[in-house]
Amino acid sequence: MNDVIDDLLAKLDLAAKVRLISGSGVFRFAGDTGIGLAEMPVSDGPTGVRGELWDERDPSVSLPSGTALAATWDRALLGRIGGLIAAEARRKDVYAVLGPTMNLHRSPLGGRHFECFSEDPMLTAEIAAAYVDAVQAHGVSACPKHYVANDSETERFTADVIADERTLRELYLYPFERAVQAGTWMIMDSYNSVNGTTMTENALLDEPLKGEWGYDGVVVSDWTAVRSTGGAAKGTDIAMPGPWELWGAPLVEAVRTGEVPESAIDDKVRRILRFAIRVGALNGTPQQPPAFTDEAAQHLVREAAAQAMVLATNDGTLPLGKPAQVALLGAAAAEPRFMGGGSATVIPAHTTSPLEGLSAVLPVQYTPGVHLNDHMIAVPLALVTDPETGAPGLSLRYLDGDKVLDTEHRTAGGLMLFGNANAMVAKSFELRGTLRVDTAGEWRIGFAGVGKLRLDIDGETVLTETVMPDGADPVEMLLNPPQRWVTRTLAEGDELDVLIELAPVLDSGLPAMGLTFAVGRPRRAADEEFAAAVELARTSEVAVVVVGTTEQIESEGFDRKDLRLPGRQDELVAAVAAVNPRTIVVVNSGSPVEMPWRDDVAAVLLTWFPGQEFGSALADVLTGAAEPGGRLPTTWPKALTDVPVVDTKPAADNSLPYTEGIHIGYRAWLKSGVAPAYPFGHGLGYTTWELSDVTVTGHTATVTVRNTGDRTGRQVVQAYLSRPGSAVDRPVRWLSGFDLVEAAAGETVTATIDLPERSFQHWTDQGWVVEPGAFTLHIGTSVADLPLTAQIA
Ligand code: BGC
């Protein structure tokens, strides 16, 4: 391959080479027809493939998010999911998916916690490697991100993580090392700095990545992360989005003056050509992975969601059997979060809410009980028609003064014009629709967006305002912009002609624009609604309360401020539990939340952000058609005040010191001696297990596992190491390996756990070292439940 690459390189002049090392679009790598190199569209993201554009008319399968995937501890399932991601990528004509997200759960406040896998580097690495392997087996590139130490969002463009080499090697770099071993073709570097240098120019791109680990793939910048022309001498190979002005003509000049050596550019181009050969973009055709029918994709997402759900406690109320009547409560039951916010967003063709999923199989009566916040929602398609076509949806016009550049029929109330050619040239945007309300009462009608906005109702201007963003992060500004509205008292069936015009006034740094036609439905007064929910629970056989976070508190672009459930959700659960002993709480959050009522309810099921099939998977788990398969990939605290590592806010000099070193997650909890609500690795199923007889041969442990219950089940058998009497600062114990077993009622099977050499090593100035002496192996089903031990000399 190298000869071919050298021949092609020789055909490119300097300007052509520089063109190749930045994108030719927002989500597109440049091509060169002269050498037969196609342009290469790429797409977010980690849990679904949005495609090159952010457009509801081209929907995508929405998979469970990162924490959920890691909670399965199931490499084989990740293999099948990788196949689906590859199929989605090719269906959308993209060559690479920008995922998985492999930063660590250092603080539970981290805004992208939901998107990352785990607090443990080994679990992260294993899940990521299975993902990378499966996607790339079909000729589509993965792109593990963000290299490295991009573990929180506060001031993410400028934060300077200060971490010692051992901490970096053993924790934050380890998943990337494993992804390189798994053969990843692309890696994304991050916005932040590490030890004083921005990651797009950081020496960590040379060592260990490209040198010691022998990585021969491409390093792509995070979007807008390339900060200088001279930095092109360093390890980032492609600046995105493109064309990136700092790397255009100024870079050609910098090479001419000798500031940037041409050999550095050649190395980048070689890597890009190698990448292009791998994905079939150079004089070839990309591989075609086996396609998924809609049914097959839905089935896999539903299975994965159920496998990811963690049953934290259960007094035997679950599985439910056949209750005569179920009270379903909680705003999140009808309007759940299927995915986290930010660049990982995809637009699914259909979703199933808990209300829909449970109503299909159980005699459900529903009332929300609480309002999570005062945010309006994007106008539902069922309520709005495009005045141009008469079809459900809206009419979007791209304007340049009075000139109409284009008109589109859109089928979503919230639009995100990202990478869309018209959006880059239009001076203003106009969204029109006829709203027909389905309920009498006081409606809020308005918009969400940033810029100069105007709202007309029935031809009359009712609101104009120049709206500025609440936060500084461009992603937050696009995805979570401020809302404004007017109120109208309407009768059922009333129709209003609504027009919203937006003229951007700020340059977000991203060629993108977001605009939402938002509505707020009439709702009962808060106390009345609350009382109705409690009364319904009191008179029902079983109460299921779905609680969760919102996009305003858990998303890319900012960190959380606390771990509390928003609104009166805690109060609702407590009130419901007080009147119904069979209260099941379903938690719909991507990362830990405080659950002060957790010991007062019959069962707690953690569902994460489970993807589009949430409702059906939840119905499977609650009724017992499927076992909840998840085990915690991250510790769930009782309260934020107990959490050993919390801070995500850089100091005035931008530094964010990782003073805790190697002690994050359960390692830090073990060190502090405080018990969390639920420990790392914890999760119940619907059967019981007995573990016995550990045998260690070389670096493999085998364990006898017996299903002592009365139904088939799956168990994650976990192996941790400790090193009694060590001369080195170490965690009390740390994950070394795991195996997932399945057994029928009464059946005995063997778990086989690989214990990689790396898990015995620690990093020193001399490199990786195994401390002489015996290690103790601990086997069990969570970091806090390890009944079996063995010595490893
Ligand atoms: C995110 C990346 C993402 C990129 C492109 C950035 O803001 O940090 O994870 O891949 O946007 O959407």
Distance CA 610, CA 625 (A): 17
240 in contact with ligand 1, CB cutoff 6 A: no
- pLDDT tens for 28-76 read 999 999 999 999 999 998 999 999 999 999 999 999 999 999 999 999 9
- pLDDT tens for 486-544 read 999 999 999 999 999 999 887 766 667 899 999 999 999 999 999 999 999 999 999 99
How far out from the chain centre does Cα 44 lie? 10
Annotation: CATH topology of 301-374+525-552+565-657: Rossmann fold (3.40.50)
CA-wise closest residue to 662 among 559, 765, 732, 592: 732
CA-wise closest residue to 75 among 29, 125, 127: 127
Centre of ligand 1 to C-alpha 730, Å, is 34
Distance CA 770, CA 462 (A): 71
Query: What pLDDT, on a 0 to 100 scale, did the predictor assign at position 512?
Result: 76
CA-wise closest residue to 753 among 742, 767, 761, 741: 741
CA-wise closest residue to 563 among 30, 69, 111: 111
Query: What pLDDT, on a 0 to 100 scale, did the predictor assign at position 111?
Result: 97
Atom of ligand 1 nearest to the CA of 44: 10
343 in contact with ligand 1, CB cutoff 6 A: yes
Helix (H) or strand (E) holding 10: helix 2-10
3-state class (DSSP) for residue 336: coil
Residue ranges covered by each domain of the chain = 301-374+525-552+565-657, 377-520, 687-792
Task: Give, for ligand 1, the residue of 115, 343, 417 to mutate: max count of ligand atoms closer than 8 Å to Cβ.
Answer: 343
Q: What is the signed CA dihedral for 647, 631, 606, 146, rounded to 10 degrees?
A: 40
Nearest CA to ligand 1 atom 12: 343
Mean pLDDT value across residues 277-290: 92
Provide the whole-model pTM.
0.97
Clarify whether 527 is annotated catalytic.
no
Centre of ligand 1 to C-alpha 652, Å, is 25
Query: What pLDDT, on a 0 to 100 scale, did the predictor assign at position 417?
Result: 86
Strand order in the sheet with 145-147: 145-147, 186-189, 218-221
Residue by residue, what is the 3-state secondary structure of 250-277? Answer: HHHHHHHCCCCCHHHHHHHHHHHHHHHH
Annotation: CATH topology of 687-792: Immunoglobulin-like (2.60.40)
Instruction: Kindly give, in sequence order, each residue whose CB lies less than 8 Å from that of residue 667, ignoring residues fewer than 6 positions away.
Output: 731, 732, 734
Centre of ligand 1 to C-alpha 222, Å, is 6
Using a 10 angstrom Cβ sphere, with 0-12 exposed, 13-18 middle and 19 or more buried, the burial of residue 424 is middle
Distance CA 267, CA 229 (A): 16
Helix (H) or strand (E) holding 236: none
Instruction: Kindly give, in sequence order, each residue whose CB lies less than 8 Å from that of residue 24, ignoring residues fewer than 6 positions away.
Output: 30, 31, 39, 242, 243
Is the predicted pLDDT of residue 447 greater than 80, yes or no?
yes
3-state helix, strand, coil in the chain (%, to 5): 25, 30, 45
CA-wise closest residue to 559 among 240, 172, 107, 40: 107
Distance CA 787, CA 793 (A): 20
Nearest CA to ligand 1 atom 3: 343
Is the predicted pLDDT of residue 472 greater than 80, yes or no?
no
Centre of ligand 1 to C-alpha 144, Å, is 12
Q: What are phi and psi of 200, to 5 degrees?
A: -70, -10
475 in contact with ligand 1, CB cutoff 6 A: yes
Distance CA 560, CA 113 (A): 10
Centre of ligand 1 to C-alpha 439, Å, is 39
Report the Cα–Cα distance between both ends of the chain, in Å, rounded.
Answer: 45
Centre of ligand 1 to C-alpha 44, Å, is 7
- pLDDT tens for 103-129 read 999 999 999 999 999 999 999 999 999
Mean pLDDT value across residues 219-243: 97
44 in contact with ligand 1, CB cutoff 6 A: yes
Centre of ligand 1 to C-alpha 576, Å, is 41
98 in contact with ligand 1, CB cutoff 6 A: yes
Amino acid identity, position 319: P
Q: How confident is the model at residue 102 (pLDDT cuts 50, 70, 90)?
A: very high
223 in contact with ligand 1, CB cutoff 6 A: yes
Q: Which of 448-462, 498-512, 615-629, 687-701 has the lowest mean pLDDT?
A: 498-512
Nearest CA to ligand 1 atom 11: 223
Q: What is the signed CA dihedral for 217, 222, 223, 228, rounded to 10 degrees?
A: -90
- pLDDT tens for 581-608 read 999 999 999 999 999 999 999 999 999 9
Nearest CA to ligand 1 atom 5: 223
Average pLDDT, the chain: 96
Query: What pLDDT, on a 0 to 100 scale, did the predictor assign at position 588?
Result: 98
Q: What is the signed CA dihedral for 26, 27, 29, 31, rounded to 10 degrees?
A: -80
CA-wise closest residue to 5 among 264, 278, 404: 278
In DSSP terms, which residues pair with 484 in a beta bridge?
A: 447
Cα angle, residue 493 at apex, residues 490 and 497 outer, rounded to 5°: 75
Centre of ligand 1 to C-alpha 221, Å, is 9
Architecture of domain 377-520: Sandwich (2.60)
- pLDDT tens for 403-418 read 999 999 999 999 998 8
Query: What pLDDT, on a 0 to 100 scale, did the predictor assign at position 652?
Result: 97
Distance CA 440, CA 181 (A): 60
Cα angle, residue 595 at apex, residues 592 and 598 outer, rounded to 5°: 125
| Percent of the chain with pLDDT strictly greater than 90 | 94
540 is written with which tokens?
């029902």
Of the candidates 222, 237, 386, 620, the residue annotated as catalytic is 222
Query: What pLDDT, on a 0 to 100 scale, did the predictor assign at position 130?
Result: 98
b (16+ CB within 10 A) / e for 598-632: beebbbbbbbbbbbbbbbbbbbbbbbeebbbbbbb
Distance CA 389, CA 182 (A): 50
Q: What are phi and psi of 232, to 5 degrees?
A: -65, -15
- pLDDT tens for 343-389 read 999 999 999 999 999 999 999 999 999 999 889 999 999 999 999 99
Task: Give, for ligand 1, the residue of 42, 43, 98, 150 to mutate: max count of ligand atoms closer than 8 Å to Cβ.
Answer: 98
- pLDDT tens for 637-661 read 999 999 999 999 999 999 999 999 9
